[in-house]
A and B are shown apart, each in its own frame.
Chain A
Amino acid sequence: MTVKTTFGEYPVGNKDAVENFHGNQLVYIGWDEHLSICSANAYPLPPDMPFGALTEAVIPSVAGPHPDFEKINWETVEWTLDGASLTPDMGASLKDNGIGHKSLLRFKTPGLNGYKGSGN
């Protein structure tokens, strides 16, 4: 379906094209069952950043204060990238792990289900 106009074709546009992010791409990262962190977060990240930087720096910058965070065993974490299961290569770049512009990365920490197991 197209937007109706009085002047012909509706203008094509994309406010969030990757070119607008100065070499970064948008990545959304959400920690399942930890909804006290109210939603997935959005990050501008270099596509060449190693995946390991996510667990070492990016995710802790938001999730660090959560009491579950220090208990995370990254070996057992389950990752989902754009709806499909992912086994990340920590040393490879985001791009090489298949994380593109506006990708959604979710992770689940089995055994850690939020504060007192409430999903928070």
Chain B
Amino acid sequence: MAKKLNMRKRYELFTRGLGWEPTYQTKEAVFPRESYEGLKITDWDKWEDPFRLTVDSYWKYQAEKDKKLYAVMDSFAQNNAHLNVVSPEYVNALKVFIQGVTPLEYAAHRGYANLARQFSGEGAQIAAQMQSIDELRHAQTQIHTISNYNKHFTGLHDPFHMHDRVWYLSVPKSYFEDARTAGPFEFITSISFAFEYVLTNLLFVPFMSGAAHNGDMATVTFGFSAQSDESRHMTLGLEIIKFMIEQHEDNLPIVQGWLDKHFWRAYRVLGLVAAMQDYMLTESPMSWKEAWEIYFVENCGALFNDLARYGLKMPKHHEIATAESEHLSHQLYGAFYNFSHAAALQTTVPSEKKMDWLSEKYPNTFDQYYRPRYEMWGEMAKEEGKRFFNMGLPQLCQVCQVPMVFTEVGKGKPMDISYRDSEFNDEKFHTCSDGCKDIFDAEPEKYAHAWLPVHQIFQGNCGGAEIPDVLKYYHFNPEDGGDCKGSADEKHWNESKGIDDADDDASVDQAKIA
């Protein structure tokens, strides 16, 4: 009887055996994007598939994940489980997610489909194809999960439209499009390595453990379902880095440059997650600072020790990112607080309990630099109509497109805004940090094309000159923004829970009893 093929051999026959050398077109004509970035790939046979998953197994496991997930979603809807979350304020974390992250999942689906076509190595093609389908599954399951919340809360109704237009959503959008408009190797270094390996836990752990601690089992279920795909994505990221560097010694500086750029850009996007993690979760399991310490400083320390033998170094300006970890969430939430009248989410002055937690988690910074602003804003909000809103529009960084809230933390001056600027073709361009300035200066022609939402509003391209026109252009409803207190979300919540008094702490306590 014939011997059963072992996993390696079986995988090789199913994958490598399907590639061929083209004869009636040149290889360069069939794969026109493989060499223009300057990378030297000589032998795709050296590609090591870390997970030898063939399509039959892939479909089987993915189908089972989906069946389990949709069963939970059905049960969630039937049981009105949206009322099990700890508070209506928590749902603002889901607004950040569906507006900021879900459209990136879809963009990743498109990006990996492109890679699967552009790479000539079969192993990489297959990994990219599977990832493309994974990412579409993530987009779909996120939409499905959060659609239950959309029936009961504001701001969740039109995330893809908002993602392409709204001022704070150009942060994730521009990062991903920076990668999508680069070549296939830069794209995969950015997304598979910098984002889905180096920084992945800093996206998922805050949202998923946040969901678990705030009674949101639907999001936890979705999160686990997606994370089971992420391990394959992570191993693809690690493999591509090793493959590129091992192919030719000339590749190392190119790869290092992409890592430096995309680590910084992805880190800047994660500022939105930091603000969510420290401020939008009623019950906070872990601070951004703690997560950064575990998942970047420790975890990536180990990763880069391993990669040191290839000559790869820790990404440039990582020390600034680490120094900023005591400030990031506060500065980004400050931006959201300033502008939540023009956002599809609500903010508020944190409760005393939350501020005591922040003092404990940020002993070097919160009481000295950030508690005072909440005291001031709290005083202002006591008077009708005097809750502080910034009635202008912020200066944005030309590269990361975040409002210029970052400060000279690296120089020991955390209350001095970090202003950087460059000149290109007789025009001024402003950036928020050495990290973003370096990125601008390396490819100024690219960033001179940036669609900065604030500037576009002033050019009249966003519905009109007044804020209400712009919010209409964004497809915001009037009840989407503003303060958590007195919001439509709070009112509906109180009605559902039978709470008469709209006092913030009372509604949380009542929700726990209910």
Q: Which residues of A are at the interface with B, using a C-beta cutoff of 8 A?
A: 1-6, 10-17, 20-22, 24, 26, 28, 30, 32-33, 35-44, 61-62, 65, 67, 82-83, 100-104, 106, 114-116, 118-120
Residue of B nearest to A2 (CB): B445
In the bound complex, CA of A106 to CA of B418 (Å)? 12
Given A20-B459, A24-B458, A62-B391, output 4 extra A-B contacts at Cβ < 8 Å: A12-B425, A30-B417, A35-B417, A36-B377
User: Shortest beta-carbon distance, B454 to chain A, in Å?
Assistant: 5
| B301 within 8 A of partner (CB) | no
Which one of A1, A35, A67, A102 contacts B443 once the chains associate, using CB atoms below 8 Å?
A1
Residue of B nearest to A65 (CB): B388
Would B448 and A15 count as touching, CB distance under 8 A? Answer: yes
> 8 Å CB contacts to A: which residues of B331-352?
331, 334-335, 337-339
Would A15 and B428 count as touching, CB distance under 8 A? Answer: no
* Given A62-B390, A102-B427, A38:B449 Cβ within 8 A: no
| B392 within 8 A of partner (CB) | yes
User: Shortest beta-carbon distance, B381 to chain A, in Å?
Assistant: 11
Which one of A5, A10, A21 contacts B459 once the chains associate, using CB atoms below 8 Å?
A21
Which one of A36, A41, A61, A65 contacts B394 once the chains associate, using CB atoms below 8 Å?
A41
Would A65 and B386 count as touching, CB distance under 8 A? Answer: yes
Would A38 and B338 count as touching, CB distance under 8 A? Answer: yes
Residue of B nearest to A102 (CB): B428
Which one of A39, A115, A116, A118 contacts B395 once the chains associate, using CB atoms below 8 Å?
A39
> 8 Å CB contacts to A: which residues of B358-399?
368-370, 372-373, 375-377, 380, 386, 388, 390-396
In the bound complex, CA of A30 to CA of B388 (Å)? 17
Would B37 and A39 count as touching, CB distance under 8 A? Answer: no
Would A62 and B392 count as touching, CB distance under 8 A? Answer: yes
In the bound complex, CA of A112 to CA of B428 (Å)? 30
Q: Which residues of B are at the interface with A, using a C-beta cutoff of 8 A?
A: 32-33, 36-38, 183, 331, 334-335, 337-339, 368-370, 372-373, 375-377, 380, 386, 388, 390-396, 403-405, 407, 415-417, 419, 421, 425, 427-430, 441-443, 445-446, 448-452, 454-456, 458-460
Which one of B36, B421, B441, B458 contacts A4 once the chains associate, using CB atoms below 8 Å?
B36
* Given A5-B36, A17-B427, A21-B459, A120:B373 Cβ within 8 A: yes
Would A41 and B390 count as touching, CB distance under 8 A? Answer: yes
User: Shortest beta-carbon distance, A9 to chain B, in Å?
Assistant: 9
Write 10 A-B pairs (CB below 8 A) sorted by A numbering. Answer: A3-B445, A15-B451, A15-B456, A21-B459, A33-B415, A35-B417, A36-B377, A41-B392, A42-B394, A62-B390
Q: Is the interface of B mostly helix, strand, loop or mixed?
A: mixed
Chain B residues within 8 Å of A20, by CB: 459
* Given A6-B33, A40-B394, A42-B455, A115:B376 Cβ within 8 A: yes
In the bound complex, CA of A6 to CA of B428 (Å)? 28
Would A103 and B445 count as touching, CB distance under 8 A? Answer: no
User: Shortest beta-carbon distance, B104 to chain A, in Å?
Assistant: 22
In the bound complex, CA of A37 to CA of B38 (Å)? 45
Chain A residues within 8 Å of B394, by CB: 38-42
In the bound complex, CA of A116 to CA of B376 (Å)? 9
In the bound complex, CA of A104 to CA of B404 (Å)? 12
Residue of A nearest to B183 (CB): A4
Chain A residues within 8 Å of B375, by CB: 115-116
Would A38 and B36 count as touching, CB distance under 8 A? Answer: no
Residue of B nearest to A115 (CB): B376
User: Shortest beta-carbon distance, B239 to chain A, in Å?
Assistant: 24
Would B451 and A120 count as touching, CB distance under 8 A? Answer: no
* Given A30-B395, A33-B415, A13:B449 Cβ within 8 A: yes
Would B450 and A15 count as touching, CB distance under 8 A? Answer: yes
Chain A residues within 8 Å of B372, by CB: 114-116, 118, 120
Would A39 and B405 count as touching, CB distance under 8 A? Answer: yes
Would B334 and A65 count as touching, CB distance under 8 A? Answer: no
In the bound complex, CA of A82 to CA of B339 (Å)? 26
User: Shortest beta-carbon distance, A26 to chain B, in Å?
Assistant: 7
